[in-house]
Structure formats: C-alpha cells, structure tokens
C-alpha cells in the first residue's frame, strides 16, 4: 500500500518541478527575454472583422524590460504627443497625455513550452489593470521579440482586438 502512495508523491513532485522550471526567469529560454527592448510596432487586429490598425499611431515609442529578478516594467506612448503649452499641463492637456500612453510594472513568469509570458500587474496607469495577470504569446527571432495578446478589450480604443507588439533588443551601454 505504501509503495503506490510514494510513486504518486514522487510523480507529483516531478510534475511540479517541471512546471516551476517552465516559469523560472533563470531558465535558458526565459533568459533570452531578459533585458531592455525598444518598441518597433504596435498593431491591433479587430475581432471578428480582421481589420488591422496601428494601436497608438504609426510611430509609437516605448520600452519593456524583463529583469533576472522576475520583475518587469513597460511604457508605451502614442505618436504625436504634445508638450503642455505652459509649465503645468491644463486638465485637457493632461488628459490627452494620459490617454496616449500605457504603463505598468510587476512580476513575470515564462512558460517555455507554451511560449507564453504572463505579466502580474502590481502598479498601472490604468487602475483597473492593477492586480491582474495578462498572458502574452511570445516569439523570439534574433534581436526581435514579438508579444501577442489573446483577443481582449484594447485599452487604447475599447474594441475587442488581438494586439501584436514587436520589440527590438537594446544593446548594452559600452
């Protein structure tokens, strides 16, 4: 009777060990995500029409960083943002600036089998996202990282879309 129980315990431990290796930021493939990436493009595809559009204009700017400590941070700003006219933004200027950006930080886990990275949000420009977890499918191609969201509400326009965000690795400073 004890032998089958031990087999189940050891089998469960093996499964759990494999699962934790998948999400370990130090796993070899997960290490390839680490570092700073500069935004190249941010495209949304509407569901179900398939219409594609630049989410935050044709030339958004931004960075994402995945640290070896399992923490991440991202900021993206839209094309054509204007500086406030005076030293302090008017309410309308401030609203336009907030509406043309997204930013959040938290922890991340990587599932190398499923090719997903999950962002667990600790702080966000949009408080409705704080405390949430967001899964992105990832593709690595040399110095390019592509993150693809599942179909969900786009925070920039409120439509149901799949968003594809492409990043390029930033080289280390000399």
| Number of domains comprising the chain | 1
Cβ neighbours around 83 below 10 Å, total: 8
Give me the CATH number covering residue 156. 2.40.128.280
Is 131 domain-assigned?
yes
Query: What pLDDT tens digit does each residue of the chain (174 aa) get?
Result: 444 433 333 333 333 333 333 466 667 778 899 999 999 999 999 998 999 999 899 999 999 999 999 999 999 999 999 999 999 999 999 999 999 999 999 999 999 999 999 999 999 998 989 999 999 999 999 999 999 999 998 776 788 999 999 999 998 665
pTM of the full structure: 0.82
Residue 104 and residue 121 in contact, taking contact as beta carbons nearer than 8 Å: yes
Supply 29's token pair. Answer: 């493939």
Residue span of the structural domain in which 77 resides: 2-169
Cα separation of 56 and 163, whole Å?
11
Is 174 domain-assigned?
no
């Amino acid at each position: 009777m004890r032998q089958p129980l031990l087999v189940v315990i050891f089998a469960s431990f093996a499964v759990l060990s494999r699962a934790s290796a998948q999400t370990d930021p130090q796993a070899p493939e997960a290490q390839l995500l680490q570092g700073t990436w500069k935004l190249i493009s941010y495209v949304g595809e509407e569901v179900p029409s398939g219409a594609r559009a630049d989410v935050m204009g044709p030339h958004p700017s931004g960075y994402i960083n995945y640290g070896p400590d399992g923490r991440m941070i991202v900021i993206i700003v839209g094309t054509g943002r204007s500086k406030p006219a005076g030293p302090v933004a008017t309410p309308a200027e401030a609203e336009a600036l907030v509406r043309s950006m997204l930013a959040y930080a938290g922890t991340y886990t990587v599932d190398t089998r499923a090719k997903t990275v999950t962002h667990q949000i600790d702080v966000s420009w949009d408080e409705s996202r704080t405390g949430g977890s967001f899964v992105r499918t990832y593709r690595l191609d040399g110095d390019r990282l592509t993150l693809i969201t599942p179909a969900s509400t786009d925070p920039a326009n409120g439509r149901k879309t799949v968003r594809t965000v492409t990043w390029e690795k930033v080289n280390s400073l000399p």
